[in-house]
Amino acid sequence: MKIVVCVKQVPATHDAKIDPETKRIIREGQKAILNPFDTYAVEEGVLLKERFGGEVIILCMGPEKAHESIREAISGGADRGILLSDRAFGGSDTWATSYALAKAIAKIGDVDLVICGKQAIDGDTAQVGPGIAAHLGWLQATYVMKVEDVTAESIRVRRMHEDGYDICELPLPAVLTVVKDINSPRIPSLRGRMAANKAEIPIWKPADIGAELDRIGLNGSPTRVVRTQPPPARHTISKRIVGTSEECARELVRELRLRSIL
Amino acid sequence: MLHHIQNKVYHVEILPPKQDSEKLEADLELFATKYARVMESGYCACITDNAMGHLAFQGSELIQELDLPVDPEKVMIHLNTFHTKEDLHTILDFCRDKGIRYLLVISGDGSERLPKLQPSDIGAVGVESVTSVELLRYIGRAYPGVFVMGVAFNPYEPEEHEFEKMERKIAAGATFIITQPLIEKNAVVDRLLAKYPEMPVIIEAWMSKKISLLSEAVGYEIPENTEFDPIETLKMLHRLYPTCGVYLSLLGFKTQYHLIADTWT
C-alpha cells in the first residue's frame, strides 16, 4: 500500500496567540509541535504498512520549520516526507489547504490511502481531511476508530459517533480521518530518530504540484474570519470536604450524585 | 555482584538522552563519552530506563546504535514495567545476545505516553497490575539462568510494607539490592543489612549538590539552600556501610569523576 499521512505543525496549545488585525494564529516565534491528533494518523499508517507492506509518506504544508514535524513522524516509522512550503501557500484556509494537499497527493501518484488526524488543535475545523477527499473525488470516512480489514480493492473501518459506531466499507483509494481511540502511538526508537534527523525532505512549491495560484493562499481561501473571542470562562464550584476519610468519601459520593456525575 | 563490592567497583548511573532532545547528536556523543570513561575506570555503567517518567532512549538501543563495547561485568541495564511485551523481549534478547547480565528490575514511574505491561502479557495471575515482582518472575522463567537481577529498596516507604515487598522480590529471583539515595545513617537500611546478611546491597549516593531535589524521594522537604557536599557524604557512606557497594546517581563527570577514585579506600 502507498499511504500518505497528512500532518500539520501547530503551536503548542498554551502558546497560541491570535493576531488582532488578521485574526490569524501568530506562528512566528512560537513553540511548535506535531498536531497531536496527527500522531495517531502516523501510527495507523505505520501499522497498516507493517501488516500489508508498502510505504508511508508524510505530507505537510507549512513554513520551512515544519520539517521538524515531518521528522518526528518519520522517527515514528514513516518512510519519507514532503513539505509544501512557499509564501504563495500562506494564508490558506482549509479549502485552499486541502486543494494544495490533494494536488501533492496526485503528484505523488498511485496512492491507495490518505490518513489525517481528525482535526488540528489550532483551527479545530476538522475540514482538511474531507476537503482532500472532495478535491480528489475519493470516498472518505471520518472519525475512524478502527481499521477492520484491507483488501486490494477496499478498506473496512469503524466510524465512531456518540451513540456507538458505524462499519463502513470504502473502495480504495480513500481518505480517512482518525480519532485517538484508534491506536497508541509508539515511542520513537533511537534508530528512528537518527534516520529522521538524516532524512532529506524535499520542499515542493506550487509549480511543483501544478497548483493554480488563485486557488491557494489568501486568494484561494473563501473563509473570512470576522471576529474572534476567547471562550467564556468555565463556571466552577469549589467545596472543601472535611472529616474522617470515610466521612469525606461518603460526602464526596453524595455531592457527585447530587450533580449527576455518578 | 558480591565481587563488585569486594573489588570496589562503583556503579555509575548514566542517564540516556531524552526523547525530546533538540541536540540529539551532541547528547549521544556525551553519553558515549561517559560510557567509555566508566568502562576505562573499571566501574559498572548503570543505564536508566525512563527515569522519573521522563521519556528517554533505552540503554540497549544506545549500546546497539552507538556500537558501544560491552563488558558483561561492567554494564547494568535498568528495566521497568512500562514496555510492551514485544519491546521487553527486544531489550532482553539484545542483552542476552550482547552478554549483558546485570538487570535492575523496577516497577518504574511511568508516563501517559508509555505502554504498561499487562498481567496477561507475562502470564501473571491473581494480580491487577505488573510490578517488579511479576517482571522478575517472568524474566526468570523466559530467560532461565541468563540474567543477574537486582531490585530497589526504598527506606523512606512504610517500613513493614517495604520489607514485605522485598521478601516477594527475593522469592521472585532478585539476587542483589540497590537502595534509594542515602545521605546519612539509616536505621531501615541497617535492618535490611541485618535481615539479609548474605545479599549484596548497594547503597545509592546522591552526587548532586542540589540536595533539595531529594525531597520527593525521602518524603520530607529539604530546603533549597541546604548545604551539601556529595564527596564528603560519599566518604561518610563508605565508613558507615563498609560491606556495601555504592551506586552513584547524578555524578558530575566534569567536576566529580576524578575525585571518586580516592574515596573508596
Which chain A residues touch B55 with a CB distance below 8 Å? 187
The β-bridge partners of A32 are A11
pTM for the structure as a whole: 0.79
Region A234-254 average pLDDT: 88
Region A144-166 average pLDDT: 94
Q: What is the ipTM of this complex?
A: 0.74
Can you give the pLDDT at residue B21? 87
Residues of chain B with a CB closer than 8 angstroms to some CB in chain A: 19, 24-25, 55, 57-58, 61-62, 65, 113-115
CB crowding B98-130: b at 16 or more within 10 Å, else e: bebbbbbbbbbeebeebbebebebbebeeeeeb
Q: In the predicted model, is pLDDT for residue A18 greater than 80? A: no
- Chain A residue with CA closest to B86: the answer is A186
**Long-range contacts of residues B140-143, Cβ cutoff 8 Å, at least 24 apart:** B140/B172, B140/B173, B142/B89, B142/B92, B143/B92, B143/B96
Question: Higher pLDDT residue, A231 or A243?
Answer: A243
DSSP-derived 3-state class of residue B11: strand
The number of residues making up chain B comes to 265
Partner B, chain A 165-184, Cβ-Cβ below 8 Å: 184
The reply to whether residue B61 touches residue A194, judged by beta carbons under 8 angstroms, is no
B contact test, residue of A43, A183, A190 with most B CBs within 10 A? A190
The CA–CA distances, whole Å, from B165 to A30, A157, A209, B157, B194 equal 48, 46, 63, 11, 17
Sheet strands side by side (includes A55-61): A164-171, A154-161, A139-150, A174-178, A113-117, A2-7, A55-61, A80-84, A203-204
What are the cell numbers at A163?
451513540
Task: Answer whether A188 touches B (CB < 8 Å).
Answer: yes
Can you give the pLDDT at residue B136? 97
Can you give the pLDDT at residue B70? 95
Contact B211, B183 (CB under 8 A): yes
Can you give the pLDDT at residue A13? 65
Domain B2-260 in CATH 3.40.50.2000:
no
Question: Higher pLDDT residue, A108 or B112?
Answer: A108
The number of residues making up chain A comes to 262
Residues of chain B with confidence (pLDDT) below 70: none
The CA–CA distances, whole Å, from B202 to A13, A198, B135, B237, B245 equal 44, 41, 21, 11, 4
Can you give the pLDDT at residue A15? 56
Among A7-21, A61-75, A135-149, whose mean pLDDT is lowest? A7-21
* Separation between Cα atoms, residue A156 and residue A164, nearest integer Å: 16
Among A153-162, A221-230, A237-246, B69-78, whose mean pLDDT is lowest? A221-230
Chain mean position to CA A195: 23
User: In the CATH hierarchy, which fold is given to the domain comprising A2-220?
Assistant: Rossmann fold (3.40.50)
